[in-house]
Amino acid sequence: MDPVAALEEIAFLLERDRASAYKSKAFRKAADAIRDLEPGQLADRAADGRLRRTAGVGDSTFAVIAQALAGEVPERLADLRAKAGLSPAGAAATGLRAELRGDLHAHTEWSDGTTSLAVMAKAAEAQGLEYLAITDHSPSLRVANGLSAERLAEQQELIEVVQAGMPNLRLLAGIEVDILLDGALDQTPEMLDRLDVVVGSVHSKLRMERAEMTARMLRAIADPHLNVLGHCTGRLVEGSRGTRPQSEFDAEAVFAACAEHDVAVEINSRPERQDPPDGLIAIALDAGCLFSIDSDAHAPGHLSFLELGAARAESNGVPAERIITTWPAERLLEWAGR
């Protein structure tokens, strides 16, 4: 087994399990430390003791490398795969998850993600995705280091650089833009015009009165820049941040507007969100809405949450043809550009 791939998969699975960030970073650091070594060089350094003295390689990561060099599935990796419900050899995607081609909601260290844009892109490629939208936060979400128009323009340039080295993955320039209190989108129209995909989410004043929240969301949905309505209720059902009730709004009116303005309703795959609730998915289905199954990944391992979103969509009877992330990239971009 490739030692670098083993180390990166361990980091990925630790992130998926929401382990402490330092644990996954240790395995990524070790992967970076040996990435440029030829297999023969790596084996020689493991045998003569030099690898143990290499910066970034500790006892746990050395054991993984040694077992991988011996042609074994490292014990740490096998244990994590089993904990994730996978066989020791891993498992191929099945069902609706196998039909997903892309993910339109992912964060990097440019805002509140944990890793670089390049690492997120490589993880998406390893997950078998054909495209990934980089959607870091907008400026009003200061706690998440939201991007000003200037920083967003710099990120677009970096996306082009990373894309040049990734022929098998299409990177899309995007944003998770805050829906402000008055329903305006928190980025300049000029910058929104330059993006491939715009996800809009409510992050503030989640306990607004029902009528005010409805009006706020309806104005955002009517903005021609908006493509996807992100985690529409803002609820939290589990996890380290505790729980949070869902926002109150007129779901029939909001989802009718999404259908009218061709805005997809996000099925957010994060286990602590599970947003929208099943009842709201049913209302959106009846309204004729499109859907987008997204990971809302803040670390590479979170991309695997797509399987959870796909399972929820399947259990609620959402047909694949109404899920925009099953579409080829060209069809998606044509739709998003309208």
pLDDT tens digits for range 44-97: 999 999 999 999 999 999 999 999 999 998 999 999 888 876 666 556 678 999
Comparing 17-31, 42-56, 66-80, 152-166, the range with the smallest average pLDDT is: 17-31
Comparing 31-35, 101-105, 178-182, the range with the smallest average pLDDT is: 31-35
Section 157-183 average pLDDT: 97
Say which amino acid occupies 231.
Answer: H
Q: Which two tokens stand for residue 108?
A: 């990097």
CA distance 312 to 264: 16
Q: Which helix (H) or strand (E) holds 132?
A: strand 131-134
Comparing 94-103, 164-173, 236-245, the range with the smallest average pLDDT is: 236-245
Q: Specify the pLDDT at position 83.
A: 82
What size, in residues, is the chain? 338
Q: Specify the pLDDT at position 316.
A: 98
CA distance 133 to 149: 17
Section 171-178 average pLDDT: 98
Q: Which of 250, 191, 181 is nearest to 220 (CA)?
A: 181
Angle (CA) 183-192-139 rounded to 5° is: 65
Decide: residue 244, CB within 10 A, 0-12 exposed, 13-18 middle, 19+ buried: middle
Q: Give the whole-number percent of the chain exceeding pLDDT 90.
A: 80
Is the pLDDT score of 222 beyond 80? yes
Q: Specify the pLDDT at position 89.
A: 59
Return the bridge partners of 265, or none: 229, 291
Q: Specify the pLDDT at position 219.
A: 98
Q: Which of 163, 152, 165, 229 is nearest to 195 (CA)?
A: 152
Contact 54, 46 (CB under 8 A): no
Is the pLDDT score of 277 beyond 90? yes
Q: What is the pTM of this model?
A: 0.86
Is the pLDDT score of 209 beyond 70? yes
Is the pLDDT score of 303 beyond 70? yes
Q: Specify the pLDDT at position 88.
A: 63
The residue whose two tokens read 């996306």 is 159
CA distance 175 to 153: 11
Q: Give the whole-number percent of the chain exceeding pLDDT 70.
A: 97
Is the pLDDT score of 243 beyond 90? yes
Q: Which two tokens stand for residue 258?
A: 């999404």
Contact 234, 247 (CB under 8 A): yes
Q: Specify the pLDDT at position 201.
A: 98
Contact 132, 171 (CB under 8 A): yes
Say which amino acid occupies 208.
Answer: M
Per-chain mean pLDDT for the chain: 94
Section 118-140 average pLDDT: 95
Task: Tell me which of 89 and 322 has the higher pLDDT.
Answer: 322
Q: Specify the pLDDT at position 90.
A: 59
Q: Specify the pLDDT at position 231.
A: 98
Helix residue ranges, H only, 111-250: 117-126, 149-164, 189-194, 210-222
